[in-house]
Amino acid sequence: MVGGGQLARMTHEAGIPLGIRFKLLSDTRQDSAAQVVSDVVVGDYRDLETLRAFAQGCDVVTFDHEHVPAEHLRALEADGVVIRPGVEALLHAQDKGVMRDRLTSLDVPCPRHRIVADPADVERFAAEGLGGAAGENTGFPVVLKTVRGGYDGKGVWVVRDAEEAAEPFRAGVPVLAEEKVDFARELAANVVRSPHGQAVAYPVVESIQVDGVCDTVIAPAPGLSEELSGQAQEMALKIAAELGVVGHLAVELFETRDGRLLVNELAMRPHNSGHWTQDGAVTSQFANHVRAVLDLPLGDPRPRATWTVMTNVLGGDFPEMYPAYLHCMARDPALKIHMYGKDVKPGRKVGHVNTYGDDLDDVRERGRHAADYLRGTITE
């Protein structure tokens, strides 16, 4: 696996019961996964020769992020290395402009969008949304995104006029403009697809963001109709098949106030919106990703409980979280804590907790209390 973050750490964990020999390309020995994997290569994933040396002896190479240059991955494929989810598929998670254009060609509903050249072009895009003339600001606010490299709210701006639109262009990379969708909530449809075409779909979840970072995931999404749930799963399965994805695919969605679904983002790896599956599904996203990339039969994605809630633990002002275990575990013996071995920094994802049960309010409160206590936001 290329990338030493928490996704690699938890994927490695899922492969242990299957006797999978796991090799890791990590930036440092201190990275989350590098702390627990025995076979670690420290190197730069942006260097082709490092990638070539790392791939030697691997049956398959997969990823915990989308940032490996596509030209390097094509070179590895030319060398005979098996890349999954596949280079051409992964491009749609690397480049938001490519993703938007391809999904639109497949009649998958997306926000109105186009690549923009400068702040004046953003102003024209805004005006076009309401049929106005260039120079009118009636179509603002507009969402601007760098086409590559953004995550957790980074590389994303909501701008109210052309003056505010100047900042994204300073990075010197292409910028995608999108309409600001009036959505009721954010959802995620997680599916896994194998090379021989077998696919499974997890229950559609609600994802609650705070300051651009995922805070809470509720499985299944409360109050979501069977019709919309089925639409979301079918949409995700269609995208996986049409793009040739192998492994886990997360499709982040907007549920609009008028009852439609629009695709927001794609991720072709295990995803934060699927962390609940570690304790809440028969087969976790990590286990199914391992099975898929090795072309093994996929596992059952059905939920184990009526409700499962994943609550992210973000770093706060208390760098040592482990003393809080005593309180959290004693208060809630059913609580599942997953920490990533990261240094605590304010706002950084350092772990998550999973809670489950039949009463959604109770399940959410238990998760919120544990996450806040681990962070030090509350002390009782």
Q: Can you say which residues are annotated as belonging to the binding site for ATP? A: 96, 145, 178-181, 186, 264-265
7 with 31: CB under 8 angstroms? Answer: no
**Phi, then psi, of 144 in degrees rounded to 5:** -115, 140
Question: Are the C-beta atoms of residues 42 and 317 closer than 8 Å to each other?
Answer: no
Closest CA relative to residue 332, chosen from 364, 304, 303 = 364
Q: Which residues of 108-132 are buried (b: 16+ CB within 10 A; e: fewer)?
A: bebbbbeebeebebbbbbbbbeeee
Residues 327/345, Cβ–Cβ less than 8 Å: no
d(CA 79, CA 82): 9
Tokens coding 300: 């059952």
CA angle 253-256-260, nearest 5°?
80
Amino acid identity, position 213: V
For 243, other C-beta atoms within 10 Å of its C-beta total 23
Q: What is the rounded CA–CA span in Å between residue 236 and residue 108?
A: 10
Rounded Cα distance, 316 and 331, in Å:
21
Binding residues, as ranges, are: 96, 145, 178-181, 186, 264-265
Q: Read off the tokens for 202.
A: 């997890």
Name beta bridge partners: 351: 313, 339
- Token couple for 40: 């670690």
Which residue type, as a one-letter code, is found at position 65?
Answer: H
As a whole number of angstroms, the distance between CA 164 and CA 335 comes to 44
CA nearest to 35, candidates 9, 58, 60, 16: 9
Place of tokens 């910028």: 175
Helix, strand and coil in the chain, % to nearest 5: 35, 25, 40
**Cβ–Cβ < 8 Å for 376, 319:** no
